[in-house]
Amino acid sequence: MTGLILGAICLMAPVGGPVSNGYSPVGDYAGHWGIDYAVPLETVVRAPADGLVTFAGSVAGMRTVTIQPLGGFKVSVSYLSHISVRSGQSVHRGDTIGLSGSPHGRPGVHLSLRVDDRYVDPAGHIGCRSTDISRALRLVTPPGPYPRRGAHRDPRRDIRSDSHRAFAYR
């Protein structure tokens, strides 16, 4: 079920800058477990999803905001220079949550996505800035009704071959 819901998670990029470092995890702790965006220091950072702020504070010297859009899903934006929200607050996609800081010595922010406490690549879930889930779940238009009358057919014409007729009447 989580895999089905995972496809429905739709995030917007927290800032308008280019990706400077992509998702590339290595082992249990090494590698890069999210996406970094390059933007000038103190750029406005926006909530990537609707949800409840479950954490707004500092971890190992990094200011981070974590939003829970659905049970089992957490979206975090890190390396903030300032936090504008508090834990327990509801936010909507696009709300200001803080200002960008300086990840890895370069101005920008870090975005990560966790599903059931496992990191996944958030890149596949970016790009639905002003839409809701109903647009992502569009159904194919059903076909029109079958015609009520049969097609015109000449009753004098039999499309079966003579050999078939001979076998059928014996």
Considering the domain boundaries, does residue 2 fall inside one?
no
Considering the domain boundaries, does residue 133 fall inside one?
no
Which one, of 26, 21, 8, lies nearest residue 131 by Cα? 8
pTM of the model: 0.68
Considering the domain boundaries, does residue 45 fall inside one?
yes
Task: State percent of the chain over pLDDT 90.
Answer: 35
Assign 135 to helix, strand or coil: helix
State how many domains the chain has. 1
Considering the domain boundaries, does residue 144 fall inside one?
no
Considering the domain boundaries, does residue 56 fall inside one?
yes
Mean pLDDT, range 79-106, rounded to an integer: 92
Q: How confident is the model at residue 90, as a pLDDT? A: 97
| Cβ–Cβ under 8 Å, residues 65 and 46 | no
pLDDT above 50: residue 129: no
Domain that includes residue 49, residue range: 22-124
Considering the domain boundaries, does residue 79 fall inside one?
yes
CATH number for 86: 2.70.70.10
pLDDT tens digit sequence for 3-57: 444 445 788 999 998 887 766 666 555 656 689 899 999 999 999 999 999 999 9
Q: How confident is the model at residue 4, as a pLDDT? A: 41
Considering the domain boundaries, does residue 147 fall inside one?
no
Which one, of 13, 15, 34, lies nearest residue 101 by Cα? 15
Considering the domain boundaries, does residue 62 fall inside one?
yes
CA atoms within 13 A on the CB side of 112: 18
Q: Write the CA distances from 91 to 18, 33, 39, 119, integer angstroms.
A: 24, 24, 22, 22
CA–CA gap between residue 12 and residue 167 (Å, rounded): 68
